[in-house]
Amino acid sequence: MLSQVVELIENKNSFAITTHVRPDGDGVGSSLGLCWLLKSLGKEAEVIVRDEIPPSYRQLPGADEIRKVSSIDREYDAVFVIECSNIDRPGIEKLEEQFVVNIDHHATCENFGTINWIDATASAVGEMIYNLCKAIGGRVSKEIAECVYMALVTDTGSFHFPNTTERTLKVASELVKVGVQPSRISEAVYNSYSWSRVALLQRVLATARRDTTGRIALMRQTLEMVEETGAVDGDNNGFVNMPLVAKEIVAAVYMREVQPGTYRVSLRSKGPINVARVAESFGGGGHKNAAGFRISGDWDEVESEIENRLKKAIEIAAESDPALEIESEYTLA
């Protein structure tokens, strides 16, 4: 509950803030935003994260001071855990011994904290940090604003995803009022890559093809491509979505070779097509329109099995939405 969080902050003095492994924009932005808020209230606070901060978020104010830790190594009155479904997600040892404040915007979040503040109506935890700032009577400084804006932009896909609400845009407007330059945040998010991303995309896109129904797009990323281009983690962000710009494409498969014969598969879909089910049938999971799993085997065989299960998922969805029906006479250009 928000009121418990406010009370805790008012009564305690030293805090750590952490988020999940492989931190994203909401994780980093919300953690830093909360850190700036706590400091502005005269508290001791620091952000601790297990993994490297991706380049896109390193330009945020305070990002330089984030400490990389794998185990709690000092005393805190409380540790805030941002955007984690369970206590293991931060990948930090001894966390379970702490006074944990769990802040998340996923309805499925476990109540693993001593205090749990879950708000599934928030587009991002960033929106909740803004609410906390208002509730506690803090001033939304430019630093807080930039961090929270980053959280909103990344978790709503630049205000594109269905989680974008009237409130999200209103908060964004208020953050711009206190000094955020939207174009600078976008530049950091989208243009912080190296040429390796372009080089990787060249190669991956060259493999893009449609299945025989013309409704499913498939792409491959080989180990060789990564080696040739010097691509790093994150260079392929969003590649899986690219074929979905075509209105006839309703599902996309991105197969990334992680070691010879083993693949990390990402699935995307539109509307009622449930790729979480497909991923689950392969031992993975995710959301209705975005899911994934890991699999080993012969590339062509594995791909063909994924294709078959996706076609079934499209057929099931077509029962409720005839526009999705696969035309058997469809011919590829």
For binding to its own copies (CB under 8 A), which residues are involved?
158-162, 164-170, 172-174, 176-177, 181-183, 186, 190-199, 201-202, 205-206, 208, 210, 214, 217, 229-230, 242-249, 270, 333
Q: Which amino acid is at 152?
A: L
Task: Find out whether 159 and 169 touch, Cβ atoms under 8 Å.
Answer: yes
Rg (CA), the chain: 22
Smallest distance, Å, CB 33 to its own copies? Answer: 18
Whose Cβ is closer to its own copies: residue 47's or residue 317's? 317
Q: Which amino acid is at 111?
A: N
Smallest distance, Å, CB 287 to its own copies? Answer: 14
What is the Cα 18 distance to its own chain's centre? Answer: 15
Tokens of 277: 């089910």
Whose Cβ is closer to its own copies: residue 70's or residue 173's? 173
Which are the contacts of 105, defined by CB distance < 8 A and separation ≥ 6? 83, 118, 119, 120, 121, 122, 123, 124, 125, 127, 128
Whose Cβ is closer to its own copies: residue 46's or residue 146's? 146
Smallest distance, Å, CB 292 to its own copies? Answer: 21
Smallest distance, Å, CB 106 to its own copies? Answer: 18
Whose Cβ is closer to its own copies: residue 114's or residue 192's? 192
Whose Cβ is closer to its own copies: residue 72's or residue 171's? 171
Tokens of 2: 């928000």
Smallest distance, Å, CB 240 to its own copies? Answer: 13
Q: Which residue has the tokens 């498969």?
A: 253
